[in-house]
């Protein structure tokens, strides 16, 4: 049953009791009729002339008719009822039905058309009954005279008269007396009742059965709140009025509220069922506990189940959440000589909290390359040194909402272990949380200096080239520089002794520094001169880190003579022919470089569009990476998306 239906049922019960209260409750104290054989009153007294009261054997009515005696005097006959318990009544309602004969006052001047009604209140039954002395002592009180408005004669039918009278009482019972002073009457019915305002529940308060007061009056009755309920107005409104007809007054201010942890029941407030709660006082129904919680002992709130928590900022009876599970699919991509891109996916279970964040920890390995370790446990064991404080994290290393981070400043030749931890607002409340992180290891390669090769030597020009024996992908992380030093003729060891700079007259194609390709054409050299050329490697986007160098010695040709390369003579062709060949090779390399550059730009645009379409509709707080997209395109996309969101915010 829904709470609203239960509330309706509770209100219906209250309304039903209120309707019953409106109808009132009439209690019959005495009810006799002439046909009732149990109507046997035996206490009768004649205090004057006349026959007095007697029950007619033919009709069953109690009759007194002493008209002949009223010619000279009044009569004085009494008939007294048995003891009538009043059941705590405050007011009694008496109704008698009787007949009366017409009085001929001219012939019988003391004749009457009425009888007197008297009562004697008593808390006990008088032992031996009511004596004549009690009557003579005036212990009976007159409450009314029943006067007949319809009388009969010998020429008409006998009409009946009904007389009603109410009187207050203060004792537990009464004796009712009928006094005749000269009438000819017959009692047909005698009925005595009282009214009670029945027990009723109104506004959550119970009002006990109450005796009604006299007509025109109202008894003020204080109610009591149902069990486990209270009155918010401190009892000032817990009153109803009991009317003489047994009905209660209506008081909308009567409001008893079930205490916290209780809901309205049939007549009392009932404790909330297990798994539900009610935090405040009121006549609303209990509500179920949120998921992952259970009722406390008082049913005023819900406690979180084991492994689930609430933060101080969460509602007191709000949902309970758990720490998240570990991030998924953590990968490390080397996108520069000294920096990597970490990317991952959201945990399968975020714990139900909406503030999922990530933190990154870095550890440097003790012994060489992580590929030397046989499993991830060994990696975690040997990679336990804190990383350099100079590392830079973009966007940050702590509490980021994104699923990627770029780490700069890693040392070449070292291996690293990266740990990504997922956390939310309740992570710090959990104990023994060990499954909320994931790890990945990576190695930063040492830059390899390619061997410098002399591809051509002329009288005033030489062509230098180089290539790496390592993974060709790593060459895209470095720039190359070529330097020139002229040697004195008398020096035989150019490797160690040639240190005189060639000067600005020497020309380099495509350039002297930051060469991206794998060749250089050096021209405007002097003929028959020994030179030392040195190749240096510099990291791109770094702080100027330089690796070792590769050196080669070259002696330019003299007309008709062969050149020397590292001390070995080269039987070359004509100088002019060699110069033309060198220039042709240089031009070919330049054209090839231009073509490669155009292809690279086109592919990059294609990759970027693919990455952007795959991430369409996703927020900046979560990115997914696939092996089909190159890391540098992912990085560009993520950073541009991040900047776009910052501008929008």
Mean pLDDT of the 150-176 span: 93
CATH code for the domain of 521: 2.60.40.10
When pLDDT is cut at 50, 70 and 90, the band that residue 542 belongs to is low
Q: Average pLDDT, stretch 371-378?
A: 48
Q: What is the pLDDT of residue 411?
A: 85
Same domain, 207 and 181: no
Give, in order, the Cα–Cα distances in Å from 224 to each of 198, 229, 255, 309, 342. 15, 9, 11, 41, 70
For residue 270, being part of any structural domain is answered with no
Same domain, 249 and 137: no
- Residue 47 clears pLDDT 80, i.e. is over it: yes
Report pLDDT digits (tens) over 300-309. 999 999 989 9
Q: What is residue 518's predicted lDDT score, i.e. its pLDDT?
A: 85
Q: What is the mean pLDDT of residues 426-446?
A: 81
Q: Which of 229-233, 318-322, 501-505 has the lowest mean pLDDT?
A: 229-233
How far is residue 624's CA from residue 77's CA, in Å, rounded to a whole number?
115
Residue 600 in this model has a pLDDT that exceeds 50: yes
pLDDT for position 401: 93
For residue 209, the enclosing domain spans 198-258
Considering only residues 6 and 164, tell me which one the structure prediction assigns the higher pLDDT.
164
| Mean pLDDT (whole number) for 45-64 | 92
- Indicate if 412 and 456 belong to the same structural domain: no
Residue 78 sits in the same domain as residue 151:
yes
Q: Is residue 611 part of a domain?
A: no
* d(C-alpha 202, C-alpha 10), whole Å: 11
Share of the chain above pLDDT 90, in %: 43
Which band of pLDDT confidence, cut at 50, 70 and 90, is reported for residue 382?
confident
Q: Which pLDDT belongs to residue 115? A: 95
**pLDDT at site 305:** 93
Average pLDDT over residues 408-426: 90
Domain assignment present for 359: yes
Distance between CA 357 and CA 368 in Å, rounded? 32
Residue 590 within any structural domain of the chain = no
Most confident of 74-78, 336-340, 476-480: 74-78
**Are 177 and 206 in a shared domain?**
no
Q: Backbone dihedral region of 341: left (phi > 0), alpha (psi from -120 to 50 degrees) or beta?
A: beta
pLDDT at residue 567 in the model: 55
Residues 99 and 117 in one domain: yes
For residue 570, tell me if it sits in a domain.
no
In a domain, 288, yes or no: no
Per mean pLDDT, which range of 169-178, 564-573, 579-588 is the poorest? 564-573
Give the pLDDT score at 627.
38
What residues contact 361, with CB distance under 8 A and at least 6 apart?
A: 397, 418, 419, 421
Q: Are residues 388 and 536 in the same domain?
A: no
Residues 238 and 189 in one domain: no
Can you say whether the dihedral through the CA atoms of 319, 322, 328, 331 is positive or negative?
positive
pLDDT of 244 higher than 60: yes
Among the listed ranges 135-149, 203-217, 428-442, 537-551, which one has the minimum average pLDDT value?
A: 537-551
Confidence of residue 19 (pLDDT cuts 50, 70, 90): very low
Task: Report, as an integer, the average pLDDT of 55-69.
Answer: 92
The domain that contains 221 carries what CATH number?
2.60.40
- Tokens of residue 471, six digits: 């993974």
Highest mean pLDDT among 79-93, 205-219, 255-269, 313-327: 79-93
Pick the last residue of a domain from 195, 230, 247: 195
What's the pLDDT at 434?
67
pLDDT confidence bin for 386, thresholds 50/70/90: confident
Q: Among residues 539, 556, 573, which one ends one of the domains? A: 556
Provide the pLDDT for residue 92: 96
Residue 434 lies in a domain: yes
Preceding omega of 557 cis (within 30 degrees of 0)? no
**pLDDT band for position 10 (cuts 50, 70, 90):** very low
Residue 611 binned pLDDT confidence (cut-offs 50, 70, 90) = very low
What confidence score (pLDDT) does residue 563 get?
53
pLDDT band at 3 (very low <50, low <70, confident <90, very high): very low
Kindly state the average pLDDT of the residues 54-60.
Answer: 93
Shared-domain flag, residues 68 and 160: yes
Tokens of 220: 């003020």
Angle between helices 631-648 and 575-614 (to 10 degrees): 50
In a domain, 308, yes or no: no
Q: Is the pLDDT of residue 136 over 90?
A: yes
Split into its structural domains, the chain has a count of 4
At residue 547, the pLDDT reads 61
Mean pLDDT of the residues in the chain: 80
Least confident of 194-198, 486-490, 609-613: 609-613
Q: What is the mean pLDDT of residues 78-92?
A: 95
125-129, 227-231, 426-430, 617-621: which is most confident: 125-129
pLDDT at 589 over 80: no
Lookup result for tokens 């290891």: 441
Domain CATH code at residue 54: 2.60.120.260
Query: Is residue 464 located within the same domain as residue 544?
Result: yes
Query: What was the pLDDT predicted at 521?
Result: 92
In this prediction the pTM is 0.51
Residue ending a domain, choose from 150, 170, 195? 195
Residue 417 pLDDT level (bands cut at 50, 70, 90): very high
434 and 537 together in one domain: no
Most confident of 67-76, 170-179, 541-550: 170-179
pLDDT band at 122 (very low <50, low <70, confident <90, very high): very high
The predicted structure's pLDDT at residue 234: 61
CA distance 178 to 340: 118
186 Cβ contact partners less than 8 Å away, ≥ 6 residues apart: 56, 59, 61, 62, 63, 98, 99
Q: For CA atoms 384, 390, 391, 393, give the dihedral sign.
A: positive
Confidence of residue 235 (pLDDT cuts 50, 70, 90): low
Residue 373 pLDDT level (bands cut at 50, 70, 90)? very low
Helix (H) or strand (E) holding 99: strand 91-101
pLDDT number for residue 167? 96
Q: Do 190 and 202 have their domain in common?
A: no
């Amino acid at each position: 049953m829904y709470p609203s239906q239960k509330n309706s049922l509770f209100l219906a019960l209250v309304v039903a009791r209120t309707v019953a209260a409106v109808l009132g409750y009439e209690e019959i104290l005495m009810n006799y009729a002439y046909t009732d054989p149990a109507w046997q009153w035996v206490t009768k007294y004649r205090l004057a002339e006349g026959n007095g009261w007697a029950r007619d054997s033919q009709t069953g009515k109690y009759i007194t008719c002493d008209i002949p005696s009223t010619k000279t005097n009044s009569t004085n006959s009494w008939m007294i009822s048995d003891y009538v318990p009043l059941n705590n009544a405050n007011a009694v309602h008496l109704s008698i039905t009787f007949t009366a004969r017409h009085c001929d006052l001219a012939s019988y001047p003391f004749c009457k058309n009425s009888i007197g009604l008297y009562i004697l209140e008593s808390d006990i039954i008088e032992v031996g009954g009511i004596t004549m002395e009690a009557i003579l002592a005036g212990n009976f009180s007159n409450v009314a005279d029943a006067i007949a408005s319809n009388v009969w004669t010998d020429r008409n039918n006998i009409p009946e008269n009904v007389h009603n009278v109410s009187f207050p009482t203060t004792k537990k019972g009464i004796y009712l007396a009928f006094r005749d002073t000269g009438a000819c009457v017959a009692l047909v019915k005698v009925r005595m009742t009282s009214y009670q305002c029945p027990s009723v529940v109104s506004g959550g308060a119970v009002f006990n059965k109450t005796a009604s007061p006299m007509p025109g009056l109202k008894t003020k009755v204080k109610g009591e709140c149902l069990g486990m309920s209270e009155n918010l107005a401190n009892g000032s409104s817990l009153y109803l009025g009991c009317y003489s007809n047994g009905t209660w007054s209506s008081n909308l201010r009567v409001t008893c509220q079930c205490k916290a942890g209780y809901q309205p029941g049939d007549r009392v407030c009932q404790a909330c069922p297990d798994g539900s709660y009610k935090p405040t006082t009121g006549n609303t129904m209990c509500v179920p506990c949120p998921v992952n919680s259970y009722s406390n002992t008082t049913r005023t709130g819900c406690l979180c189940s084991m492994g689930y928590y609430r933060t101080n900022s969460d509602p007191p009876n709000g949902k309970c959440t758990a720490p998240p599970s570990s991030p998924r699919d953590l990968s490390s991509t080397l996108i520069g000589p000294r920096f990597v891109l970490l990317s991952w996916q959201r945990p399968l279970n975020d714990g139900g909290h909406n503030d999922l964040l990530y933190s990154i920890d870095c550890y440097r390995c003790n012994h060489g390359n992580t590929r030397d370790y046989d499993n991830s446990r060994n990696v975690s064991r040997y990679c336990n040194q804190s990383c350099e404080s100079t590392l830079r994290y973009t966007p940050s290393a702590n509490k980021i909402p994104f699923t990627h981070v770029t780490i700069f400043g890693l040392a070449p030749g070292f291996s690293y272990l990266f740990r990504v931890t997922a956390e939310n607002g309740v992570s710090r409340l959990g104990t023994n949380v060990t499954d909320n992180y994931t790890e990945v290891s990576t190695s930063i390669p040492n830059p390899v200096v390619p061997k410098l090769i002399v591809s051509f030597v002329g009288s005033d020009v030489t062509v230098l080239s180089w290539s790496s024996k390592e993974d060709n992908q790593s060459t895209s992380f470095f720039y190359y520089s070529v330097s020139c030093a002229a040697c004195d003729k008398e020096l035989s060891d150019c490797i160690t002794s040639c240190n005189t700079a060639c000067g600005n007259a020497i020309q380099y194609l495509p350039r002297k520094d930051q060469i991206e390709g794998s060749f250089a054409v050096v021209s405007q050299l002097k003929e028959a001169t020994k030179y030392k050329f040195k190749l240096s490697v510099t990291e791109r986007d770094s702080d100027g880190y330089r690796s070792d160098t590769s050196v080669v010695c070259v002696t330019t040709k003299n007309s008709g003579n062969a050149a020397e390369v590292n001390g070995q003579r080269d039987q070359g062709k004509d100088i002019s022919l060699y110069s033309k060949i060198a220039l042709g090779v240089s031009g070919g390399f330049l054209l090839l470089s231009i073509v490669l550059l155009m292809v690279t730009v086109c592919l990059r645009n294609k990759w970027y569009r693919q990455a952007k379409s795959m991430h369409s509709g996703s927020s900046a707080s979560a990115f997914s990476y696939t092996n089909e997209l190159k890391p540098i395109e992912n990085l560009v996309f993520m950073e541009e998306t991040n900047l776009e969101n910052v501008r929008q915010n």
